[in-house]
Amino acid sequence: MSEQTMSERTSADRVIIFDTTLRDGEQSPGISLDVGEKLEIAEQLARLGVDYIEAGFPIASQGDFEAVHAIASSIEGPTICGLSRTAHKDIDRCWEAIEPATNRRIHTFIATSPTHMEHKLKMSPAQVLAEAISAVGRAREYTDDVEFSPEDASRSDFDFMCDVLQAAVDAGAGTLNIPDTVGFATPLEWSERIRAIRERVSGDYVISTHCHNDLGLAVANSLAAVEAGARQVECTINGIGERAGNAAMEEIVMALRTRPDSYPGLEVDIRTEELAKSSRIVSRLTGYPVQYNKAVVGRNAFAHEAGIHQHGVLNERTTYEIMDPAAVGQGESQLVLGKHSGRAAFRDALQKLGHDIHGDALNSAFTRFKELADRKVQLSDADLEALAIEEVGGSVQHAYEFVSLDVSGGTASTPTADLVMRVAGDEVAVTCEGDGMVDASCSAVKLATGAEGRMTDYNVTSVTGGVDALADVALTFESVEGVKVSGRGLSTDVVEASARAFIGALNKIARIRESGEDPNAVDRPGHIG
């Protein structure tokens, strides 16, 4: 029992940032990250300076277990946390996964609302109380750092929930996390609830909040909880998470930093210059685009359209900017490399951008760079970063690989795609017609891979501005079995980017099938709430 207790680690004026991008965030529909991708995100979270990384739900699947174990084995800095239901086998598995980390936490939870107890758990309140005590006790056999959550706290009977929370503290929980699981709370009500819990539940614990965004109030509720004394906030990059998502970390952190008058003396240890990059990495690897007008990290968050605004900002930035774009890592994109740049310059540029890739990932990123540089005169740092992130897990053997694509057609002739890909190592060439070139090339991918299902979302953006910008395609595909995955592809050509994105999505389905997991199974522990 070498871990510090929470009260040693925190002080009254420090807000602990507990990131759950890799656990609650990964529960968003269509997101399915492999171990390499989760490690890449965890490394960035460590650079960002989060206090806790909730790395996953180890009992949920072998893949979840391996990812949490890999993160616990290699990420330095943040405490690594695993989620667990109250069953002892869940807690034992959770500990096994996080054990290699220097600092580790077990987060155990059980629902306390009447509707969850009756319809989901089919347990009486007395059973729920007993489960909570037993789970915290079991977790404390492994570590001093135990967090307990009464799921669906916003719809729980206050007195009963406080009995459970008191029992959890008495059994050794050092953090009480109060989740608004269904995003039902409003800010005033939430701050009153947090304040009332602090008054009612005695002992040495940190109070935490975990808010969902169903009414668009997750950040407001989290900040209201902080005002009422919460000193840990659970949040995700870009606010991803179940349904409408969780509280967005970048918004919470920047609200605390920008308005010390409203949150006097409160500190967060986040390197805010890493926020925009964290957002881009998470967006690219999850396939979830960031809305242009997203606060803090959206590409328009510091763009000024009206002439009067532009004029004001040119004279004095603070006329229309309450934050410095550089402080959140939203600087201007710079042109960095061209087609004559060599491997060393390429690697050096990536390192300067904070992407230390090597081995197979570096080789494939460099090959892609050369292909793109041949078509585009110069690549900017934003292009390079997008490329590096796309090659995360470059050493992973994928079921399907893009080789080449030729498309022809126009208003008078039928769009046709000639596609060559590698399917399980063998080269396959197919020709398909379609309603348009994107349709023809995606049909060709379907034909070459035998994929069955339908595209449920398709979105094209550009990495930077200008007609020569890299096209960035994000799509969602649902297989016939109902497995939903996202894919993302980059190219100077939008048709090729679409084919690459589709192949990326199909690789995820192949990986899920190979692991034997059924991500849609109703009894899969990953399905919370």
DSSP states of 98-151: HTTSSSEEEEEEEE-SHHIIIIII---HHHHHHHHHHHHHHHHHH-S-EEEEEE
Stretch that binds ligand KIV, among 58-66, 128-136, 175-183, 386-394 (CB under 6 A): 175-183
Alpha-carbon gap, residue 254 to 260, rounded angstroms: 10
Give dist(CA 464, CA 26) in Å, integer.
27
Listed in sequence order, the residues at least 6 apart from 97 whose beta carbon sits closer than 8 Å to its beta carbon are 55, 56, 58, 65, 68, 69, 72, 82
Which position among 3, 19, 24, 151 is part of the footprint of Zn ion (CB under 5 A)? Answer: 24
Contact flag: residue 151 with ligand KIV (CB under 6 A): yes
The helix (run of H) or strand (run of E) holding residue 348 is: helix 343-352
Candidates 45-53, 174-182, 334-342, 368-376: pick the segment binding ligand KIV (CB under 6 A): 174-182
Q: What binding mask, one character per residue, do residues 58-87 give for ligand KIV by CB under 6 A, x or -?
A: -------------------------x----
Q: Letter for the amino acid at 202? A: S
| Comparison of 39 and 182: residue with beta carbon closer to Zn ion | 182
193 lies in the site for ligand KIV, by CB under 6 A: no
Distance CA 400, CA 241 (A): 28
Shortest distance in whole angstroms from residue 246 CB to Zn ion: 6
- Do the Cβ atoms of 54 and 78 come closer than 8 Å? no
Write the binding mask 11 to 50 for ligand KIV: x where contact by CB under 6 A, - elsewhere: -------------x--------------------------
- Rounded to the nearest whole angstrom, what is the least distance from the CB of residue 351 to ligand KIV in the complex? 36
Cβ count near 293 (within 10 Å): 10
3-state secondary structure labels for all residues of 360-395: HHHHHHHHHHHHHHHHCCEEEHHHHHHHHHHCCCCC
368 interface partner picked from ligand KIV, Zn ion, none, CB below 5 to 8 A per type: none
Q: Using CB atoms within 10 A of its CB, is residue 41 exposed (0-12), middle (13-18) or buried (19+)? A: buried
- The yes or no reply on residue 181 touching ligand KIV (CB under 6 A) is yes
Identify which of residues 61 and 181 has a Cβ nearer to ligand KIV in the complex. Answer: 181
Q: Which does 312 bind (CB under 5 to 8 A by kind): ligand KIV, Zn ion, none?
A: none
Instruction: Rule CB under 6 A: choose which of 29, 312, 525, 529 binds ligand KIV.
Output: 529
179 binds ligand KIV (CB under 6 A): yes
Among 18, 95, 109, 148, binds ligand KIV (CB under 6 A): 109
Q: Which stretch binds ligand KIV (CB under 6 A): 177-185, 410-418, 460-468, 485-493?
A: 177-185
Which residue stretches of 143-260 are H helix?
A: 158-171, 187-200, 218-227, 249-258
Minimum gap (Å) between residue 147 Cβ and ligand KIV: 9
Residue 280's alpha-carbon distances to 257, 314, 426, in angstroms, are 21, 27, 33
36 neighbors 360 (Cβ within 8 angstroms): no
The residues near 527 (Cβ < 8 Å, ≥ 6 apart) are 521
Binding span for Zn ion by CB under 5 A among 20-28, 65-73, 295-303, 476-484: 20-28
Q: How far is the CB of 315 from Zn ion (least distance, A)?
A: 45
Answer yes or no whether residue 346 interacts with ligand KIV by CB under 6 A: no
**Rounded CA gap, 423 and 257, in Å?**
50
Which one of 19-27, 117-125, 292-300, 306-314 is the stretch in contact with Zn ion (CB under 5 A)? 19-27
Among 149, 154, 330, 341, binds ligand KIV (CB under 6 A): 149
Residue 108 is a binding residue for ligand KIV (CB under 6 A): no
Q: Could you say whether residue 278 binds ligand KIV (CB under 6 A)? A: no
Q: Which helix (H) or strand (E) holds 505?
A: helix 494-515
- Contacted by 496, from ligand KIV, Zn ion, none: CB < 5 to 8 Å by type: none
User: Which residue lies nearer to Zn ion by CB, 24 or 40?
Assistant: 24
Question: Minimal CA–CA distance to 179: which of 197, 159, 202, 167?
Answer: 197
Question: Which one among 105, 210, 446, 508 touches ligand KIV, defined by CB under 6 A?
Answer: 210
Residue numbers of the site for Zn ion (CB under 5 A)? 24
Residue numbers of the site for ligand KIV (CB under 6 A)? 24, 83, 109, 149, 151, 177, 179, 181, 210, 212, 528-529
